[in-house]
Chain A
Amino acid sequence: MSVTTAEGMNEQAYKKESDYILEVKDLKKHFPIKAGFLQKTVGSIKAVDGLSFNVKRGETIGIVGESGCGKSTAGRTLIRLYEPTSGEIIFKGRNIAKMSEGELRRSVRKDIQMIFQDPYASLNPRKTLKAILTEPMITHSLYRPRERMEKLNELLEKVGFNPLFINRYPHEFSGGQRQRIGIARALALNPDLIIADEPVSALDVSIQAQIINLMEDLQEDFRLTYVFISHDLSVVRHISDRVGVMYLGKMMEFASKKDLYEDPLHPYTQALMSAVPVPKKKGVQARERIILKGDLPSPANPPQGCVFHTRCPAATEICSQMVPEYKELKKDHFVACHLY
């Protein structure tokens, strides 16, 4: 059968590159802008415009950027909630960018799960906790009905919930508890990869710390791989192994956490880091602050050349004319900038 041979080939490819669980190559997602009576396409919003990176099994990749930089769109495109415009998404050796919807559901969906930002909007208010957590198992025909309750209790214990709560509805829980439910739901199918889109942004700091610690524990227990999308540079530094910085749909810099935070190369990364207010510490000098002028340009009409040149303090003539190449400057340290 053709399916088995395809699987066999993929198996080989997977073994060859077992280092990487996910490889993204030149991923693009453009949204059409429609106008007029006939709703003709008059342009496009380049929300994600040529993203390339890879994710090793068991690591956490952080993606940071300001609102409108395309980080959430990237996350959603990675799991095909949005159809990619072009590019490849290679998950466990198979390109899922072009896979049919049915094939996707049969073989990929349960391996990649997502945790959403808003714990209030991402749970169905008319379903009980039990229904929310068993639904994914039923959809994917996982476990026998009797085993499902067992699995459910195990999940609740993992995320620190009292099993007596299973008949309660989402409105009876606080924001932090709801985010725990969101995490338990993502874990229900034993996924390999979890895309977490701003999972702690809506939470108070003390609750945020609880959720981050929980996510780290679960990663160890289940050997999970995370793609952690956030605008909060300190949170990303804490949880990630490698970090990518996005601006206007493009990856500006991608490096290990240590390299990126201690020696940021791209002017945008430098400005972003300096803009974060940090609590004072005894004996530590206040840092030099780079204040960026103006706002993020519209992704419908991005600047020519380097997309950052309109706000860049180090911009030269070439920046407004040529798109800088995204290149590996040092080992595993990628930068897209004409300075280097």
Chain B
Amino acid sequence: MTALLEVKNLKTYFKKKKVNIPAVDGVDLKINKGETVALVGESGSGKSITSLSIMRLIPSPPGEIVDGEILFDGKDIVKLTENDMCKIRGNDISMIFQEPMTSLNPVLTIGEQIIEVLMYHQKMSKSTARNRAIEMLELVGFSRAKALIDDYPHRLSGGMRQRVMIAIAMSCNPKLLIADEPTTALDVTIQAQILDLMKDLSKKSDTSILIITHDLGVVSEVADRVVVMYCGQVVEEASVDDLFDEPLHPYTTGLMGSIPSLDGDVERLYSIEGTVPPPEHFPVGCRFAPRCPHAFDRCRNEDPSLITIKGSRSVRCFLHGDKEATL
């Protein structure tokens, strides 16, 4: 399989009072054509900044991509001019945000918001764009799309708005869809509808999806591969089956243990001690060491690197792969 997106050693820093804050610190990420990759982590792990960096939407100043490459279809988009980037955004890469309530323009009708995208990117005439917009709305499951197209966003519920967002994002047949916590603000029954829709669309149109979430249930539902982030770094990467069968990094294990199960009882939940440190106070050595139950001296002094294990997965931890590391 060919890689559609390849992020190499991405570093996005924010300047605050002349101090560099490493929000994203050397992230590698690869998404193949038609693949769904999940980016998992708690708040403050840098997962949203990674996705915004890919879209080149980091507010600058204070933010800046200081190092690394983002290869999209072979082109390094870090080096593109703003004008060239505008052609990629919405056309080749599009994004769905967490808050369906605030990401639609309240004074434009739903139709206008979809038509605008199509006229700008696909150079369609207004009437063809309108037909295409109706088609898109039907595709995301609205039965009365013709009537709905002239409605304003406030008349829709959260789940319906998120479907409109998906319709907008998918209207130009993007190669990559970035979904930042697309179902976090929604109820479970609506979440099930949206996840189903996303799976369906990616199968139909062969779109790659980067889904950002903190919900491991959602991950196992939609993703092919999982990338776990902690404190601006990738700590583990594996296929979804491998990860849930045998999580390697203590942070991943901790995350899984923290979630109460729906079909089984545990006496007491496992909890990771402490909290995610803010980026200006990342500890020396392994960043997870202060909260890790297995930490030993080496963890507190040396920075572990991301090593490949069993050919297909990788982990950033001294507990694993010492044998492989010496190879």
Which residues of A does B touch, CB under 8 Å? 66-67, 174, 176, 204-210, 212-213, 216, 231, 233-235, 237-239, 261, 271-282, 289, 291-292, 295-296
Contact = CB atoms under 8 A, between A and B. Distances in A.
B35 to A, nearest CB: 17
Interface of B: 42-43, 157, 159-160, 187-193, 195-196, 214-221, 240-241, 244-245, 254-263, 265-266, 268-273, 275-276
Contact of B43 (A204, A210, A237): A204
Given A209-B272, A210-B271, A238-B265, A275 B259 contact: no
Given A280-B240, A282-B244, A295-B157, 18 more contacts: A67-B187, A204-B42, A205-B214, A205-B216, A205-B259, A206-B255, A207-B275, A209-B259, A209-B272, A231-B187, A231-B188, A272-B188, A275-B188, A276-B188, A276-B262, A278-B220, A281-B244, A289-B192
A258 B221 CA distance: 25
15 contacts: A209-B269, A209-B271, A210-B271, A210-B273, A234-B259, A237-B260, A238-B266, A272-B189, A275-B191, A276-B217, A278-B217, A280-B220, A280-B241, A292-B189, A295-B159
Contact of B188 (A66, A208, A213, A282): A66
A271 B193 CA distance: 12
A216 B255 contact: no
Contacts of B160: 295
A265 to B, nearest CB: 17
A236 to B, nearest CB: 9
A238 B43 contact: no
B263 A206 contact: no
Nearest to B271: A209
A295 B275 contact: no
Contacts of A234: 259-262
Contacts of B192: 274-275, 277, 289, 291-292
Nearest to A295: B157
Contacts of B265: 237-238
Q: Is the interface of A mostly helix, strand, loop or mixed?
A: helix
Given A206-B271, A277-B215, A280-B244, A66 B189 contact: yes
A205 to B, nearest CB: 5
Nearest to B261: A234
A210 B193 CA distance: 31
Which 5 interchain pairs have the tightest Cβ spacing?
A238-B260, A277-B217, A209-B258, A209-B271, A66-B187
A273 B268 contact: no
A277 B220 contact: yes
A271 B191 CA distance: 12
Q: Is the interface of B mostly helix, strand, loop or mixed?
A: helix
A272 B190 CA distance: 10
Nearest to A212: B269
Nearest to B275: A174
B273 to A, nearest CB: 8
B190 A295 contact: yes
A184 B155 CA distance: 41
Contacts of B275: 174, 176, 206-207
A279 B193 CA distance: 18
A235 B240 CA distance: 23
B73 to A, nearest CB: 31
Nearest to B192: A275
B193 A291 contact: yes
A174 B269 CA distance: 21
Nearest to B43: A204
A281 B256 CA distance: 11
A206 B260 contact: no
B113 to A, nearest CB: 20
A206 B241 contact: no
Contacts of B188: 66, 231, 233, 272, 275-276
Contacts of A281: 244
Nearest to A174: B275
Nearest to B262: A234
Contact of B245 (A272, A274, A282): A282
A146 to B, nearest CB: 34
A67 B254 CA distance: 29
Contacts of A273: 262
Contacts of B245: 280, 282
B269 A278 contact: no
Max count, chain B CB within 10 A of own CB: residue among A176, A235, A276, A291: A276
Nearest to A235: B260
Contacts of B273: 210
Contacts of B244: 279-282
A206 B261 contact: no
Contacts of B189: 66, 271-272, 275, 291-292
